[in-house]
């Protein structure tokens, strides 16, 4: 039965479940609260808020999106310390926003949702602990980089030292003066290398494939600048907008089509690798694919570390792990005290392993059996009143995740408003509209840099990149409001009464 408690001015009050208390979940809850909707609850499987910025605590952690472009538009932070914020600072910012909007009393921590089932016009939600609740809307905000990936290395369990994934850091393990290996050369691997290579007695970076590095220096903001932004808060918005324009107008364009942006950024990466003075070592650090085909690594100060006698690049494949260390296929045993797996995440799970069961018993696990997909990155046919934040084909390859999730949350709020006013009771995109959207994307994907011939976590099971192939602004344009022709809508009481009055 649909809840009809009056939310003020004749509005119905929706019951909303938010799955995840990270950046997207917190932002969605703030939007609900700003709209005067108090009947929501957040489910979080970890023991605190913050999502990836709570789970990841490794040394050297920082964001590779400029701080001014990595925040909520409704909660600008004048106190960012650097252009690219350190992880603990972002986690503190998210917690501060949650406190400002009084969200923490609406969160169930250490609570993983097992299933949400659509029955009798409602979502019946069940946690793994067996608790049940009923909602009108389900918002998935589980994040894209959650489930860790560790390569299946023979003998890994036999290692006598400390070993852990970068997202499951063991802070009880001493690091100074130890023999440390990092396996993986993405952004995380580079950041950990910069933090630990200077303190290790021996440091080895195990590289399967080299990565292009964009040399963006991380400068500190001045006390004067932060004071001005605190004293004159109106300055925060144009400053954030300026960073957004720069980011989306350069990197955001370079990845989706040829032009001066791609030429410039590619040249910067190619020039930067020449900071490696040793020609042989430079060759080993130089990728064969094009810059930006994989997710770019950002930063400076990495290559210079390998001129130190105790810091080594290991690009011979790993044969197995032994009690004393890692043996490579050239027969060398690399004796170690600590092994860090900076090997990333399964970026194609999204809300899974949670199960959604929609109309006619359709299951999300079956719908996404081959590859995750959706309608305009926010919804799925057959799953009424479900909206995804940072869902499949979101523009995470060329836009700030904060802006993406806000765009999607605003779209969800417009749909919830249709429910509140009684225009609709249930809505989901049509199969035809969803198929059309995905077909249109596939037509333009070959022009993107991601389709230029490399293996990356952007590539889906069908061999094509599962990313947003348009400008970031296009995402905002198509999510301004739902297009009625693209949606299956069950009329609400207001529309039904109007149709009866008209004799329909």
Cβ neighbours of residue 19 closer than 8 Å, sequence gap 6 or more = 25, 43, 113, 138, 139, 140, 141, 142, 351, 354
Measured distance CA(75)–CA(158) in Å, rounded: 48
The whole-number pLDDT of residue 3 equals 42
Tens digits of residue pLDDT in 280-326: 999 999 999 999 998 889 999 999 999 999 999 999 999 999 999 99
Give this prediction's pTM: 0.92
Based on the fold, state whether residues 162 and 118 are members of the same structural domain.
Answer: no
The whole-number pLDDT of residue 5 equals 43
Q: What is the mean pLDDT of residues 205-230?
A: 94
The confidence band for 496, taking pLDDT boundaries of 50, 70 and 90, is low
pLDDT at residue 274 tops 90: yes
Measured distance CA(334)–CA(443) in Å, rounded: 47
Based on the fold, state whether residues 165 and 208 are members of the same structural domain.
Answer: yes
Share of the chain above pLDDT 70, in %: 95
Based on the fold, state whether residues 127 and 179 are members of the same structural domain.
Answer: no
Based on the fold, state whether residues 336 and 355 are members of the same structural domain.
Answer: no
Q: What is the mean pLDDT of residues 164-192?
A: 95
pLDDT at residue 7 tops 60: no
Based on the fold, state whether residues 430 and 319 are members of the same structural domain.
Answer: no
pLDDT at residue 132 tops 70: yes
Residue 25 within a domain? yes
Cβ neighbours of residue 377 closer than 8 Å, sequence gap 6 or more = 388, 391, 392, 393, 394, 395, 404, 408, 468, 475, 479
How many Cβ atoms from other residues are within 10 Å of residue 309's Cβ?
6
Residue 281 within a domain? yes
Cβ neighbours of residue 375 closer than 8 Å, sequence gap 6 or more = 381, 429, 433, 434, 437, 486
Measured distance CA(19)–CA(32) in Å, rounded: 14
Based on the fold, state whether residues 314 and 414 are members of the same structural domain.
Answer: no
Q: What is the mean pLDDT of residues 127-145?
A: 92
Measured distance CA(260)–CA(250) in Å, rounded: 9
Tens digits of residue pLDDT in 372-383: 899 999 999 999
The whole-number pLDDT of residue 501 equals 45
Higher pLDDT, 274 or 495: 274
The whole-number pLDDT of residue 458 equals 78
Average the pLDDT over each of 189-198, 257-266, 467-476, 486-495 and give the range with the smallest value.
Answer: 486-495
Domain-ending residue, one of 313, 341, 369: 341
Based on the fold, state whether residues 266 and 375 are members of the same structural domain.
Answer: no
The confidence band for 492, taking pLDDT boundaries of 50, 70 and 90, is confident
Based on the fold, state whether residues 304 and 400 are members of the same structural domain.
Answer: no
Q: What is the mean pLDDT of residues 339-345?
A: 88
Based on the fold, state whether residues 22 and 123 are members of the same structural domain.
Answer: yes
Based on the fold, state whether residues 278 and 357 are members of the same structural domain.
Answer: no
Residue 206 within a domain? yes
Domain-ending residue, one of 341, 375, 406: 341
The whole-number pLDDT of residue 4 equals 40
Tens digits of residue pLDDT in 19-54: 999 999 999 999 999 999 999 999 999 999 999 999
Higher pLDDT, 43 or 494: 43
Q: What is the mean pLDDT of residues 6-13?
A: 70
pLDDT at residue 141 tops 60: yes
The whole-number pLDDT of residue 414 equals 97
- Say if CB 130 and CB 36 are below 8 A apart: no
Tens digits of residue pLDDT in 404-425: 999 999 999 999 999 999 999 9
Residue 83 within a domain? no
- Say if CB 303 and CB 273 are below 8 A apart: yes
The whole-number pLDDT of residue 407 equals 97
Measured distance CA(307)–CA(311) in Å, rounded: 7
pLDDT at residue 502 tops 50: no
Closest CA to 166 of 86, 59, 89, 85: 59
Element (H, E) at 226: helix 223-231
Residue 61 within a domain? no
Mean predicted lDDT score pLDDT of the chain: 91
The confidence band for 349, taking pLDDT boundaries of 50, 70 and 90, is low
| CA torsion through residues 469, 471, 473, 474, sign | negative
Residue 87 within a domain? no
Residue 465 phi/psi, 5-degree rounding, is -65, 135
Share of the chain above pLDDT 90, in %: 81
Tens digits of residue pLDDT in 442-468: 999 888 999 888 887 777 777 777 889
CATH classification at residue 453: 3.50.50.60
pLDDT at residue 182 tops 70: yes
Structural domain boundaries, residue 217? 156-221+225-234+252-341
Q: What is the mean pLDDT of residues 253-265?
A: 94
Residue 394 within a domain? yes
pLDDT at residue 497 tops 70: no
Structure tokens at 385: 């009143």
Instruction: State the total domains in the chain.
Output: 2
Residue 56 within a domain? no
Based on the fold, state whether residues 337 and 194 are members of the same structural domain.
Answer: yes
Domain-ending residue, one of 280, 315, 341: 341
Tens digits of residue pLDDT in 53-76: 999 999 999 998 999 999 999 999
The confidence band for 503, taking pLDDT boundaries of 50, 70 and 90, is very low
Based on the fold, state whether residues 317 and 399 are members of the same structural domain.
Answer: no
Q: What is the mean pLDDT of residues 489-495?
A: 83
């Amino acid at each position: 039965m649909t809840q009809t408690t009056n939310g003020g001015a004749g509005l119905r009050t929706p019951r909303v479940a938010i799955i995840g208390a990270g950046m997207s979940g917190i932002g969605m809850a703030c939007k609900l609260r700003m709209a005067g909707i108090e009947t929501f609850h957040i489910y979080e499987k970890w023991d605190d808020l913050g999502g990836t910025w709570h789970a990841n605590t490794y040394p050297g952690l920082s964001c590779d999106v400029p701080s001014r472009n990595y925040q909520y538009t409704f909660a600008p932070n004048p106190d960012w310390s650097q252009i690219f914020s350190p992880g603990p600072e972002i986690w503190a910012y998210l917690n501060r926003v949650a406190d400002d909007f009084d969200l923490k009393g609406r969160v169930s921590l250490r609570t993983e949702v097992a299933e949400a089932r659509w029955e009798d016009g409602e979502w019946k939600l069940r946690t793994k602990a067996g608790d049940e609740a009923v909602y009108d809307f389900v918002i998935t905000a589980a994040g894209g980089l959650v489930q860790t990936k560790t390569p299946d290395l023979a003998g890994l369990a036999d290692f006598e030292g400390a070993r852990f994934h970068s997202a499951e850091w063991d802070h009880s393990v001493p690091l100074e003066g130890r023999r440390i290996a990092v396996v993986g050369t993405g952004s995380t691997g580079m950041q950990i290398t910069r933090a630990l290579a200077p303190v290790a007695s021996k440091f080895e970076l195990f590289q399967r494939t080299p990565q292009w590095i964009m040399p963006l220096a991380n400068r500190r903001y001045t006390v004067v600048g932060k004071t001005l932004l605190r004293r004159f808060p109106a300055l925060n918005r144009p400053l954030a907008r300026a960073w957004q324009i720069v980011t989306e107008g350069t990197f955001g364009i370079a990845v989706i089509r040829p032009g001066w942006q791609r030429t410039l950024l590619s040249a910067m990466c190619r020039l930067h690798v020449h900071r490696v003075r040793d020609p042989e070592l430079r060759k080993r650090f130089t990728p064969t694919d094009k810059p930006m085909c994989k997710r770019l690594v950002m930063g400076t100060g990495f290559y210079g570390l390998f001129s130190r006698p105790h810091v080594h690049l290991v690009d011979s494949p790993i044969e197995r792990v032994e009690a004393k260390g890692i043996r490579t296929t050239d027969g060398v045993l690399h004796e170690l005290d600590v092994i860090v797996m900076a090997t990333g995440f399964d970026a194609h799970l999204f809300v899974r392993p949670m199960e959604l069961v929609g109309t006619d018993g359709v299951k999300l696990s079956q719908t996404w059996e081959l590859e995750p997909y959706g309608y305009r990155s926010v919804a799925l046919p057959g799953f009424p009143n479900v909206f995804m934040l940072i869902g499949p084909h979101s523009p995470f390859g060329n836009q700030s995740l904060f802006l993406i999730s806000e765009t999607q949350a605003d779209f969800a709020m417009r749909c919830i408003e249709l429910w509140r006013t009684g225009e609709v009771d249930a809505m989901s995109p049509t199969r035809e509209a969803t198929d059309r959207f995905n077909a249109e994307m596939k037509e333009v994907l070959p022009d993107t840099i991601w389709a230029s011939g490399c293996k990356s976590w952007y590539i889906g099971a069908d061999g094509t990149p599962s990313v947003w192939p348009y400008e970031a602004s296009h995402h905002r344009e198509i999510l301004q409001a739902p297009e009625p022709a693209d949606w299956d809508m069950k009329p609400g009481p207001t529309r039904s009464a109007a149709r009866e009055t008209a004799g329909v």
